[in-house]
Structure 1
Amino acid sequence: MTGTDDLAARLRSGDRRALARAITLVESGRADHRAAALDLLAALPDPEDCLKIGLSGTPGVGKSTFIESFGLMLTGQGHRVAVLAVDPSSARSGGSILGDKTRMEHLSRDPAAFIRPSPSQSELGGVARRTREAAQLCAAAGYDVVLIETVGVGQSETQVAHMTDLFLLLLAPAGGDELQGVKRGIMEIADIILVNKADGDLRPQALRTCADYAGALRLLRKRPQDPEGFPKAMCVSAIETTGLETAWQEIRTLHRKRRESGWLARSRADQAVHWFEEEVRQALLARLRREPVRGLMADLARRVERGEETPAAAARLLIERMLGPGAPADP
């Protein structure tokens, strides 16, 4: 049995250390590690019964508190929960800055939960490049709910929709200008909006905020894959744990309807194609950084800087040098 086969067998048995080691392997940038990671992923098909949930929200909205309360509720019901928390990266070392295990103290000690902070490594979309593969490993290890927490809310956060089955947007009680700060793009992909901190003095404001978002969602175009009533806005309190069970029931209802209609299978197939194309793009960019192309790219960059070439003309010249005359330069 090869090392990869042994790691796959241990991971399938639910070995947490094997899972941590496997995620480290897929996140590695070394060529030999990447080859081993591809062998490992090929030996571990992605289970269909794992529910992958994306979660985003503005900083300070209480994402970590919500995940801990929500995760503890799910493990209490017999589920196994994995949390992939994508942290902002250090510009110098590339490592994680925050470290979500310190912010989910109780959930991190739960034997039915697994928390893995990953550096975003300056990736657009708020998710690390290998987060999708890490989620596949968690599913193969027997975790039936995988929560992917992104760095923060923004237009580029929509990337998480390409690796999850449904998307939660967590917001704080707000009004007026604060409501305008939430981008339409992320509103359009949100399946359920959860207004957190609906407790104490903030509860009346949370209810008003929830009503405002519910009205905004009704103005968006109806999505054909969703049953009546979705997307929707709901109030929750991560501290008082109120509304979490109702939110979970709505998540299960939406997931079941999408599976029964066949939309879920089509969505996962489309996601696979998306990540295939993303791998091609990343591989081509990597080639551009190598010699002899790197020297040509640097020379063209200097010519653009001096105004001797336009950016578009320089890009076409580089593409033609790589792929031959007549190669399309436009995406």
Structure 2
Amino acid sequence: MPATSTRTTTSRRQFLALLGISAAAVSCGTATASSGGGAQLKKLKYQGAVGAVTLPELAADLGYLGDVTLDWVGNTISGPQDIQSAATGQTHFGGAFNGAVVKLAAGKAPIKAVISYYGSDQYSYGGYYVLEDSPIRSARDLIGKKVGMNTLGAHYQALLDIYLSRGGLSKADAAKVEALVIPPVNTEQALRQKQIEVGVLSGVLRDKALATGGIRPLFTDYQLLGAFSAGSYVMTQRFIKENPDTVRTFVTGVAKAIEWSRVTPREEVIARMTAIVKKRGRNEDTTTLQYWHSYGVAEAGGRIGDKEFQLWLDWLGERGEIKKGQLKAADLYTNEFSGYRKGA
């Protein structure tokens, strides 16, 4: 899920277990791959997020999905859980951090990423924050310190590892930096009470903490890597094969929604999102939508490139969580179904 505060707070062991599903498990799903008789499925089961508007939801409201409709089956705060649901047939698509997609594919799940849906840019990013008077100024200052983040083995631990490596720390020294799971809603408090020395904050939680004052960024993922797409929507290869027109409509519609959100005044996007949340009648708080800045997708129309996966393939290989050379970036995604063309 997007890097605002929507990922799970599971432990690293739970995270790895969640992604350790086999290809056999994929055949046990409950959602049908197609409607039978050669007809393609037009209603897509999916999971949403409380008080937020996902790109497919925005695309549907804008009329970009044509005859394809969305069937909401519940909400999730976990990207790994969301793509597992898609892989096992509980839903028809799911989204997560690209490193989690790599892990799922390494577990022999026959999935394919079809479009990027969140990332980091100058408006939407995750930051590693310290107290204003903290002596921590560099990667080396983190040795022996505690860093709080929403989950281990995922996006924010990957960025921390990259920061430490670029800061010149050996593997032995980097191992002395303690990454801890802290629920996003508790991170600011844990930082201010000095239970941790560094806290990862993003989205509304970051903006509120900065408005209060007394903290400063050590670094952000945008400063570290520049603008980059960090997560993708995935579907099973079987679903793609049996429903190519539906997939094309979905991917193209989401791509158009990405670009609509880029070129439309922010106030208008927020107003549209607020109306969508109110219209669905789930008694959700819409105040956090006022802090929306962008989806952070780097490429036009959410098109995916090798670089979106190679960084995490290298990282997971270095950690020994996948075999080096086990997967090729180009085999993990396809842009075949995007009908969006820049400038169209």
Using structure 2 for the length normalisation, give the TM-score. Answer: 0.28
Q: Which has the higher contact order (CA 8 A, sep 6+)?
A: 2
- Structure 1 or 2, whichever has the larger Rg, is 1
Q: Quick check: which one's strand share is greater?
A: 2
